[in-house]
Structure formats: C-alpha cells, structure tokens
Structure 1
C-alpha cells in the first residue's frame, strides 16, 4: 500500500505538543505536507526539524495565535503559497483551565477561554474554507467527551467543547453542497503535557499514581495516547468519505457502565 496522505496538505493548530503533535507525526508518516500552527515557537521549530530529518512527509512551522484573525489569514495564505493547496484542517489549539466552581470564574476568564476554544476554531474554519472547497477537503475539530457527560469544576471548558461539537454539525450541513466534510472527535483521558499541567494545578503530588487511578475511569483501564488520536484523525481525513457532521468518541469506553458519580459525602 502507498502512503495514505501523500502530497496532500494539512494545517494542524496547536501542533507543537500533545494531541496536535500526535497528529503531525501521523500525517507526516503518511507522506503529508503538514503545517504546524502554534505560538510555541521553540517547540514547533524543534518538531519541524526532527520530522523533516526522517520524513517521508514534510513539516513547516508557522507562528499563529488563533485568537488573532490577522494571524489566521497569514497562516492560510502562506500555506497555500508554499504548497499550492489545502486538503485538511485539524482544529486542536485549546486549553483546559484548572478546577474552578462558578463562584470563582470571572467573565473575562470565561470570555478568554471562549475566544481560544471556540472563536479560534470559527476563524480557522472560515478562512480555510475557500481553499478546502477547491480540494473537496475536510475539517476535523478536537472536541471532548465532557461536552456530552459534563465534568466537575470545569463549566467554561465543558461549555466551549459543547459549542465545538454543535458548530461541527452546523458547518457540516452548510458545507456539504461544496463537497467539504466537517467532523469532530471527542477524547476522554489522553496523556499529554496539558494533562500533567492540569493535574499539578489541581494539587495532585503523585502524577503517576493519579493517572493510573484515572485510567480506571475507562473500561479499557488506561489513558489514550496522542498517537491513537492521530490515527483517528487520519481515518477522518482519508477514509471517512461518507461521514460528515459526526462526532467520534475516542474514550476507551469512559462513557460506559456505572461508576461513582456523587462528589459529596453521604
């Protein structure tokens, strides 16, 4: 079999680490021309150099703050100027704040998260679509299982991911006449640098121990990996040619079976 994304072009936001980096590595390994859009210049450049040294695809890093429309316009024009086309957009840039109850969440904090997690996706979708319509390409949005089941002390994050899932479905309807597919995927627990940062800010000392305990929230008994997320995105980009407006769970069965749900003492 040949390379599954050979000579095609994908933009991956937040691609310097975590799930984004897992997607970058997967698409490069299948011959893709990958543009990393991120604000972590050192990490993005390092990943670019690492993967370009081994191929078979090609990586190009561009500084891009997805909350700034001018950065996104430059991202799209530079990508198409360099590679001549755009076949896929993977919206992944985002953030999960530390645990907070509604009493302690300010309007500015909620607005800033919404700007990043939702409006960033909106802007990249908007400015990528003129190019994706030409290639009959696709958009893949990183949502979250918690958009469906909720999460303790994470109201703004859950709300933003719910918006991402809903926006995915609405955009899929609008873009079907243009031949552009729009799908999303919803991870549960995936081990990333952001996961570790969240747990540290939540006050956990033994990160390895709590990750093992949290792994038991999945019926498969473990966290997912960024590589598994990358493979799912490749499937959505290449193989899922009759799928649009779909949100695919990548959860290890976290939403299955009964479990302890009460967070108060009896």
Structure 2
C-alpha cells in the first residue's frame, strides 16, 4: 500500500482522543512519525507505525524540543488541542473563564507555531490549525468559544502571509459536528443524550456526523496534497452551514 507522508515528522497537539486521535492515526498509517500529547508518558504503535506520546502538561516549547531530539526535524504541526466548555450565556461567563479558554484554544496554538517555525522553515513544512465551523456561523451561548475559534482563522491567514517567504504553508481545518468523546460528554449533560446526538446528526445535509478518521484524512490532504493552498479555511461540515433552518429565538 502506498503511503502519502512517508518519513515525515508530525506533531499533533491534543492527539490522544477525538479529532486529534483521528489525525494522528491517519498520519501514522501514511508513513509519518507522530508526536502528540496525552496523559502520562509512553510510546505506542498504531497499526505498525510509531507515535511518541508526551505528558499532557508539557509546554509547547518542550513539545517542540522533544520532537527535534527524537527525530531531528518537523514537517507538519497540527494545532488541535482545545476545549468546548458547557454552553453558558455571556451574563454568566466570567473574565477568568474567558482568559483560560483563550490560553488553551488560541495562545497555545500561537506558541506551538512560534517554536516549531524555525524547524518547519528548514523543511518547507506546514501548519494545520483546527478551528470550528461555528467560527463562521456563530453558536448560541458560546461567545468565548466562538471568539477563540474565529481568532484561529484570522491568525492562520496572517501567519500564512508571514511564512510564505519561507515556503511554509499555514492552513485551517474547521470541523462541524464530529462524533467525539467531547461531543458525547456534552450530549450527556442534556436531559436526553440520544436525542441530542440525533439532533446533531440532523444538522448536516449528509444526515450524519463526521468521523475522527475523516478528519484525519482531511488533515492529511492539507499536509500532503494541497501544496498550492495557504491561508485557507477548509470547512469539514457535511454541509451544515447550507440551506435555511429554523433560527427565530422567540422568548418563551
């Protein structure tokens, strides 16, 4: 079987579960050496390929340093680590909660990119930033989350401009509803988790949620195939943003 990213070195932040897990697995299956963060330090084989797994609390600077120590190069950085807090109104959201989310969802992307770029420039590599469809269409009771995801898209475009002189591409992947442990956790906080998941499925024109593997294949496309694309935001949404829907919010 031919592989599309043979002997490339890829860092995936938040690669232990959900979308990040799908991305890490697909890259390994396509010949890459993958470094990602998870709870506890270990090495593991994924379908015969090698992943190096680091403690979740490692700093972006340390993550980059360990990768270079192991492999001597970086070809792709996938900034994926992040969190969607439970839905909460602006009135009930504190400044501290907003700052904490900014640090996790946005500033960590900036710092990982900052420390990886010297090595990516040597390899004419690329960065993939995972944002969200809601950065484009908005989301109810999630202003801080949507703000962090919108900022990721803007940062992607600005960094693509800056790094073009080094032939480093910077692109964005914006998933809609993908069935992940986080999605299931959020559904579990509703009165009817099964109904919440069904409603999530019905938001897509394709009538289902995306999968972790499909996310991985889309990221691989950006890294391996989309070599004339930089500064783009690729929607991974099953058509959720298309056509009319019931939007009126009439007070009860």
* Aligned position for 2:218: 232
1-side partners of 2:185 and 2:20: how far apart? Answer: 16
Shift of residue 5 of structure 1?
Answer: 1.0
Look up the SS of the partner of 1:49 in the other structure: strand
Q: Tell me by how many angstroms 1:199 deviates.
A: 2.1
Give the secondary structure class of the aligned counterpart of 1:126: helix
Structure 2 counterpart of 1:187, from 151, 158, 175: 175
8 Å CA contact 1:26–1:227 kept in 2: the answer is: yes
Cα deviation per residue 1:194-253 (whole Å; 9 max; x = unaligned)? 11122223xx24323321122111111111111110000000000010000000000000
User: The residue matched to 1:183 in structure 2 has which SS?
Assistant: strand
Query: What is the match of residue 261 of structure 1?
Result: 247
In the alignment, structure 1 residue 24 sits paired with structure 2 residue 20: no
1:128 matched to 2:128? The reply is no
**Distance across 2 between alignment mates of 1:111 and 1:2:** 45
Normalised to the residue count of structure 2, the TM-score between the two structures is 0.96
For structure 2, list consecutive stretches of 5 or more residues without a partner in the other structure: none
Deviates more, 1:216-225 or 1:1-10: 1-10
Distance, in Å, in 1 between the alignment partners of 2:57 and 2:33 is 21
| Contact 1:31–1:58 (CA under 8 A) maintained in structure 2 | no
- CA displacement, residues 74-112 of structure 1 (integer Å, 9 cap, x when unaligned): 211111111111000000000001010011000000000
Q: How large is the RMSD of aligned CA atoms in angstroms?
A: 1.4
* Partner Cα separation in structure 2 for residue 7 and residue 91 of structure 1: 20
How many pairs does the alignment contain?
A: 252
8 A Cα contact 1:89 1:139, kept in partner: yes
Q: Is the 8 A contact 1:87 1:135 kept in 2?
A: yes
Work out whether 1:113 is the aligned partner of 2:101.
Answer: yes
Report what 1:152 is aligned to.
Answer: 140
Question: In the alignment, what sits opposite 2:90?
Answer: 102
CA contact (8 A) 2:8 2:75 kept: yes
1:64 is displaced (CA, Å) by 4.3
Aligned-partner SS, 1:222: coil
The aligned counterpart of 1:33 is 33
In 2: Cα distance, 1:129 partner to 1:235 partner? 20
Deviations 1:120-177 (A, max 9, x none): 0000000000000000000000000100110000000000000000000000000000
What CA distance in whole angstroms lies between the structure 1 residues aligned with 2:26 and 2:205?
Answer: 26
**Counterpart-to-counterpart distance in 1, 2:193 and 2:214:** 22
Structure 1 residue corresponding to 2:57, chosen from 59, 65, 70: 65
Point out 4+ residue stretches in structure 1 off by more than 4 angstroms: none
Which of 242, 255, 266 is the matching residue for 2:228? Answer: 242
| 1:168-199 C-alpha deviation (Å, 9 max, x unpaired) | 00000000000100000111100101111222
Unmatched 5+ stretches in structure 1: none
Partner of 1:14, secondary structure, is coil
For the 8 Å contact 1:100–1:154, the answer to whether it is kept is yes
On the 8 A contact 2:68/2:74 being kept in 1, the answer is: yes
Distance 2:45 2:50 in 1: 10
TM-score of the superposed pair, with normalisation by structure 1: 0.91
